[in-house]
Amino acid sequence: MIRAWSIGLIAAALPAAAGAADIAGTRAAIVRSLDAQYPHLEAVYKDIHLHPELGFQEDRTAAKLAGEMKALGYEVTEGVGKTGIVALYKNGPGPTVMIRTELDALPLEEKTGLPYASHAKQILRGVETPVMHACGHDIHMAAWVAVGKTMLDLKDQWSGTLMFVGQPAEEGGGGAKRMVADGLFTRFPKPDYGFALHVGPGPYGYVTYKPGVINSTSDGLQITFNGKGGHGSRPHVTIDPVMMAAHFIVDVQSVISREKDSAKFGVITIGSVQAGNAGNVIPDTATVRGTIRSYDNDTRLKMLDGIDRTAKAVAMMAGAPAPDIKLSEGAKSVVNDDALAARSGAVLKAAFGDKARLMSEPGSASEDYSEFIMAGVPSFYFGIGGLDPAMLRKAAAEKISVPGNHSPEFAPVPEPSIKTGAEAMSLVLLDMLQRK
């Protein structure tokens, strides 16, 4: 069962949409504010990029953003959900809107060659590891600070409460869940609407949006096949767990091709296989680890069931004891509120024209912003491009693939990506917070 994700139509509660002429005027005011701020924003961006921090270790990053928002006059609370921050600004009656950025980076060694490339290291599960902002969360943070200032510059044009949220540990660490558990929507006002954006390897200056499901549900699997080890020359007196793992890896793909509805998105990938250390020894056990992605819960449950049955059947076929099966729940799909997405999407279309694109399909990545939606905040989560369109056209012509999010070479261009993100976000916020 999908939980109450479709929050229901909120169209009746939405204020009347602004006209095209209003949007042009508003856009010009936003651009003036962003142009004036930009040197500072780029300095903030480069500083954060140079000092990336892993999930729940974002102490410096959180302190930096908290300082920025305090200086603007926001009421800031730190340490929400360990390293998360909340910055509030009340400006008369009206709805409360949440603007979320992630704070965390990834355990990767940066290979962009940029002058401000990261050489940072942090401890991950007891081991020192290089750290990099390879998902563009630093772009989101700079845009978040920019929106914080722009909304104050345009304070006489809106009424309501801004709730800026800096979320720790988005990259699989459960940071959103932890903030909600720490009272994000009880100690602070519960937002009427939520907004977030993500940069990707599309052309900069462009925005992408979609009502409904916009990315995938992610689950993890870890299965250990229990065999009976022995000499590689005498397999008949062993139960070979490597054979079981091999059968499983192949057979589990028939869950995708034969059991799952072929019209629905679903992926099972085994990314890690571990068994034995010597070529002439049959080991006792073999462990496979993988990821499971889907857009809807029925497909997800069908795949989880198929994985379970396939693993057990493979062990039974080999006359082996039952395998140890661990299926872990990761992030659920982010599902945009239909009415809000239609409304905010129309604002982006009116402002950006051909540079605002309606996505035909959800993306296959995952993101724990879904926790805020499941906690009852109807939301609009949209995309911005981060790469030079001319470079992308050249790469496409030469059939060269361009590094995207989570690549050590992912290098979104700060100007105009930060400005585009902040401009799009400010436009949809101003639209929702119009003065009566």
Q: Which one, 135 or 176, has the nearer CB to Zn ion?
A: 135
Q: CA-based angle 145:147:153, to the nearest 5?
A: 110
For 300, which DSSP code?
Answer: H
Which window, 93-101, 134-142, 256-264, 312-320, contacts Zn ion (CB under 5 A)? 134-142
Q: Which one, 132 or 422, has the nearer CB to Zn ion?
A: 132
323 preceded by cis ω (within 30°)? no
**Smallest distance, Zn ion to C-beta of residue 178, A:** 17
**Smallest distance, Zn ion to C-beta of residue 366, A:** 9
Which window, 127-135, 143-151, 183-191, 307-315, contacts Zn ion (CB under 5 A)? 127-135
**Smallest distance, Zn ion to C-beta of residue 411, A:** 15
Q: Which one, 135 or 339, has the nearer CB to Zn ion?
A: 135
**Smallest distance, Zn ion to C-beta of residue 386, A:** 12
Q: What is the Cα–Cα distance from 67 to 244, expressed in whole angstroms?
A: 55
Q: What is the Cα–Cα distance from 272 to 277, expressed in whole angstroms?
A: 15
Q: Which one, 165 or 339, has the nearer CB to Zn ion?
A: 165
Give every CB contact of residue 125 below 8 A, 6+ residues apart in sequence: none
**Smallest distance, Zn ion to C-beta of residue 125, A:** 18
Which of 65, 86, 135, 199 contacts Zn ion by CB under 5 A?
135
* Cβ–Cβ < 8 Å for 226, 322: yes
Residue 425 near Zn ion by CB under 5 A: no
Q: What is the Cα–Cα distance from 14 to 340, expressed in whole angstroms?
A: 8
Q: What is the Cα–Cα distance from 372 to 185, expressed in whole angstroms?
A: 9
The three-class DSSP label of residue 28 is helix
State which of positions 311-370 bind Zn ion (CB under 5 A).
none
Q: Which one, 133 or 247, has the nearer CB to Zn ion?
A: 133
Q: Which one, 135 or 303, has the nearer CB to Zn ion?
A: 135
**Smallest distance, Zn ion to C-beta of residue 85, A:** 18
Q: Which one, 33 or 208, has the nearer CB to Zn ion?
A: 208
**Smallest distance, Zn ion to C-beta of residue 144, A:** 13
Q: Which residue, chain included where needed, has tokens 């563009």?
A: 136
Residues of the chain by 3-state class (helix, strand, coil), percent to 5: 40, 25, 35
Which window, 120-128, 131-139, 288-296, 409-417, contacts Zn ion (CB under 5 A)? 131-139
**Smallest distance, Zn ion to C-beta of residue 128, A:** 21
By Cβ distance, which residue is nearest to Zn ion?
Answer: 135
Give the total of residues touching Zn ion (CB under 5 A): 1
Structure tokens at 321: 């004891």
**Smallest distance, Zn ion to C-beta of residue 329, A:** 18
Categorise residue 191: left if φ over 0, alpha if ψ from -120 to 50, beta otherwise.
beta
For 358, which DSSP code?
Answer: E
Full strand arrangement of the beta sheet holding 207-209? 75-80, 84-91, 160-167, 96-102, 193-203, 379-387, 207-209, 356-358
Phi, psi of 332 (to 5 degrees): -85, 165
Strands 285-294 and 379-387: unpaired
Which residues of this protein are in contact with Zn ion, per CB under 5 A?
135
